[in-house]
Structure 1
Amino acid sequence: MAQNPQGAPFIAGAPPPPFPVGFMPPVTGAPPFAVNAPPPTQPTMVNGIPVAKQPLNTTPNRTVYVSNLNEKVKLDVLKNSLRTLFKQFGNVLDVIAHQNIRMRGQAFVAFPDEESAEKAIKELQHFVLYDKPMVLQFARNKSDVHAKTDGDFEEHRKQRLVKKEEVSKLPLPGSHKPTFKASRPQTNAPSHFNPTANIPDEYLPPNNILFLQRLPETITQQQLVELFQRYPGFKEVRMIPTKKSIAFVEYDNELQSAVARSELSGHSFGPDQEMKVTFARK
């Protein structure tokens, strides 16, 4: 089972790994469930581990509330990663996540029983998913999928709508902070402008192509192939003839490239020869 990790997300279709130490409802529409979840707050970090500002909910529930998720990961990729990660503890009935300002960085994972939810919380607490340790607790409300199974969905829905109305009147997260007038956009910006151009390599969004840096000048393409093909989804290595210190590695999808990135970032080819692995810029 997962320990206090530092690595990569699990891959759909791959055999369940021992999870290396590495691998977090719209306001205009009714949230599918758990609208009474704790308000999204930035947890305090202690030794790299997030500590919630309020006590975690320990009242058993069939749904797990997940927070401190990486908001930069695409929503479909995040939901697939969570489903694949949590299904080792039981049948995952539903995964709910949204990108709106109130719910981003959070998700809900519904199991058929409380035992599965409890085991998932115990085993995956502070598990690092996409470079952020998750914070897990029992959801404070019943999920839609459970309400439908229990036969009380209509009453559940009415309560949810009432709560949604109350929540909509609350200030948005960060609304108390001062705002700044956006600078006027440059009209002479080049047509090939890349919005990710100024993002540091370590914070680039997921990509199925990895960018390798700090490679030894003596490295060969075959050596890199042997190193990266150990991870599922490997397609090819592309080297730059005029600059052997960098290369590109392509995988079938972003989940698979994320595993290889997390496992091989910092791989040493010798003294002072640690390879840097990041997602390629799109």
Structure 2
Amino acid sequence: MADVASPPIPAEPAEPMKTDEEEQKPLVATEAAPETPAQEEHVSETLYIQNLNEKIKIDVLKQSLRALFKTYGEVLDVVAHPNLRMRGQAFVSFESTEAAQKALKEVNRFPLYSKPMQITFARTRSDAVVRRVDANNYDGHKERRDQHKKDTRYTNPLKRKFKAKRTAAEVDGAAAVPQAKRPNVQMPDEYLPPNKILFLQNLPESVTKDQLNALFAQYPNLHEVRLIPSKKDIAFVEYMDEGSATSAKDALHNHKLDGENKIKITFARK
């Protein structure tokens, strides 16, 4: 798969660490780097997405992201890696910065598979973008990226920090007494606190967006209905305020849209 553009790295980089394929990402600033005034947000054709649901299979996740973002413009590439250090992250490349800007504005914090996506612009162009918009310079772009990987393979401060942590963990683990793993207790959907986004389950696979719009538009302040193409039995319905969402939920929970299956409606996880 093609190398992807890199996201900005915060002053205190958080795990998971990035793979060699992400070495084009900027390194942590050194102490010698002078402070600069705040600048306007960097805009790129590629979006860097974090906080994705790690339990979703990579091929399903990529398909869902492509289907979700293609309404904002042509999607040139979607990159996600299955390895441990890159789980929960992905890159989506558009043919233009305008499409990427609109997608970021409207999709950021969208709860894909019950987790709100955290979206920023990537720091550099991805291979797919360069190949499309600047083909004459693609070979040079690729050569510089490959050389950067080689140069930073052993000097990248992020990798050094990760290696030090892993070594310390191995030493501590060898001497530690095994402890019972605490169960991961998650609040049932039915008891989630109210908010303006509803999560629909058990929908008929033949349901359409127009059907759901007509059903939920009976209640005031409907903002948007979002379907997930790769998961046809679920959807999200967003209202302008929490009160309107609550009214729709109370009225339509267990509604039989096709005369058979009852729709399960809960508040979406934040």
Q: TM-score, normalised by structure 2?
A: 0.52
Matches within 5 A, 1:1-282: 32-35=3-6, 37-38=8-9, 39-40=13-14, 58-148=41-131, 149=135, 150-151=137-138, 152=140, 153-163=142-152, 165=154, 166=156, 167-171=158-162, 228=204, 231=207, 255-259=231-235, 268-269=253-254
Q: Which is helix-richer, 1 or 2?
A: 2
Unaligned runs of 5+ in 1: 1-24, 26-30, 43-54, 185-197, 204-210, 213-226, 233-252
Structure 2: how far apart are the matches of 1:183 and 1:82?
Answer: 39
CA gap 1:119/1:72 in 2 versus in 1, 3 angstroms: same
RMSD after superposition:
4.6
Asked if structure 2 preserves the Cα contact closer than 8 Å seen for 1:98 and 1:107, the reply is yes
How far does residue 159 in structure 1 lie from its aligned partner after superposition?
Answer: 2.1
Residues 95-117 of structure 1, C-alpha deviations (whole Å, 9 max, x = no match): 01112222111100001111111
Q: Distance in 2 between matches of 1:71 and 1:131?
A: 11
Post-superposition CA distance 1:113-169 (Å, at most 9, x none): 111111110111111100011111100122121333342321133224444542433
What stretches of structure 1 move > 4 A for 4+ residues in a row?
Answer: 39-42, 172-184, 198-203, 264-267, 274-278
Gaps of 5+ in 2: 17-37, 190-200, 209-228, 239-247, 256-261
Work out the CA distance in 1 between the residues paired with 2:147 and 2:123: 16
**1:231–1:259 Cα contact (<8 Å) kept:** no
> 1:258 Cα shift?
3.5
Specify the SS of the correspondent of 1:157: helix
* Aligned counterparts of 2:188 and 2:82: Cα–Cα separation in 1: 22
Aligned residues: 183
* 8 Å contact kept, 2:254–2:264: no
Question: What is the CA–CA distance in structure 1 between the aligned matches of 2:57 and 2:164, rounded to whole Å?
Answer: 21
Measure, in 2, the Cα distance between the counterparts of 1:36 and 1:135.
12
The amino acid across from 1:170 in the alignment is K
* Residue deviations 1:221-265 (CA, integer Å, cap 9, x gap): xxxxxx735526xxxxxxxxxxxxxxxxxxxx96113439x9x99
By how many angstroms is 1:201 displaced?
9.8
Mapped partners of 1:163, 1:34: distance in 2: 16
